Amino acid sequence: MTVTPNMDNTLGALFIGLIIASVMNGVTYSQTWFYFSSQNREKPDELWLKLLVVVVVLLDLAHQVFTTHWLIQVYNYCVTNWGIVAGLDVLPWSYYGMAYPTGLVTVIIQSFFVWRVWKLSRNLVVTLSIWVISLAQFGTFLFYVARVFEIPNAEQLSLKLGGYAILVNALGVACDITIAVAMVFYLRQARTSIKRTNHLLRSITIFTVTTGIVSSVCAIMVLSMAGAYSGTNIELTFYFMLTRLYSNSFLATLNVRDRLRERVASDGIITTSNFLNRTAAAVPVSSHELDNFPRQKGSPTYGGDQEDDVTQGTVIAVKVDRITDTQYP
């Protein structure tokens, strides 16, 4: 679809995307503060996970530096070089630099979520299959950035490397959706006959789908806008937000754990093990009823006069002597 470029769909779209990305950068810092402020709990995260958070935040900061330079460049387009059409085709150095933190953040966070799939499923074939998609995206990205410095202007960039940019985003969408589907599948397999446990798993599943789909939708918008409105900067509006969405989904995944623990504590539930290790069975602190165990005649729980009736439902009493809090990423 051919669209006539104008101020709204070129500089206007560019300006809107840069402003939204800058606001989302502030959200990243807020989530980072929340993460480290909660590390004084009884069982803080391991050092490697804290370092990973620092690396992601620093890459996000680098992306913001390039974003800020683009905001300055918009001023040059609109004021300093006003009326100079050739000036609009010149790409600032920040465009080339912005690609590096975007690609690194993407592969790091996708690898983290692939690791979560492995912890949950212990299925090597599924895990490696997803990771191969992520590495294929990163490999295509490296080829793209190696060639992008050879391109002098925006028009030539779209003609010569537009296909590679589409492939990078398409592989990103495939990886994100596959991760979300795998997480949902294995979380559903972890369901038990205990309603409270299933409610907790349902919350985790909804959160997993939400964090995975948001980045996928943004990448799809980059693809669709690039195809539907070629010659404009509308796709850049979503491209600038993509790095922020990955960073914030990663940090939100870490921060939501405290909220889940609070819900477990308030509901009087203990987790028997790590939900990422495929087991998420939970029981209340008081006795809980489980199905599929035969009743015993004369059981004091149901009265001494009650006859055996396997078809009426069965009960076993579970007494909890100790509550153990387990960590999960």
Query: Is 28 part of any domain?
Result: yes
Query: Is 311 part of any domain?
Result: no
At residue 188, the 3 state secondary structure works out as helix
Query: Is 138 part of any domain?
Result: yes
Query: Is 1 part of any domain?
Result: no
Confidence of residue 265 (pLDDT cuts 50, 70, 90): low
- State the Cα–Cα distance between residues 9 and 24, nearest whole angstrom: 22
Tell me: pLDDT of 105 over 90: yes
CATH number, domain of 133, equals 1.20.1070
Tell me which residue range forms the domain holding 19. 8-266
Confidence of residue 48 (pLDDT cuts 50, 70, 90): very high
Query: Is 49 part of any domain?
Result: yes
Instruction: Quote the pLDDT of residue 84.
Output: 66
Of 74 and 173, more confident: 173
Q: What would the mean pLDDT of 91-104 be, rounded to a whole number?
A: 86
Q: What would the mean pLDDT of 77-96 be, rounded to a whole number?
A: 73
Query: Is 233 part of any domain?
Result: yes
pTM greater than 0.95 = no
DSSP 133-178: HHHHHHHHHHHHHHHHTT--BHHHHHHHHHHHHHHHHHHHHHHHHH
Task: Specify the number of domains making up the chain.
Answer: 1
- State the Cα–Cα distance between residues 233 and 158, nearest whole angstrom: 11
Query: Is 244 part of any domain?
Result: yes
Of 113 and 227, more confident: 113
Of 328 and 236, more confident: 236
DSSP element (H, E) containing 252: helix 234-266
pLDDT in tens, 212-242: 788 889 989 988 888 788 777 788 889 889 9
Of 222 and 40, more confident: 222
Confidence of residue 247 (pLDDT cuts 50, 70, 90): very high
At residue 280, the 3 state secondary structure works out as coil
Query: Is 312 part of any domain?
Result: no
Pairing of strands 282-284, 269-271: antiparallel
Q: Are 201 and 191 in contact (CB under 8 A)?
A: yes
Q: What would the mean pLDDT of 290-300 be, rounded to a whole number?
A: 45
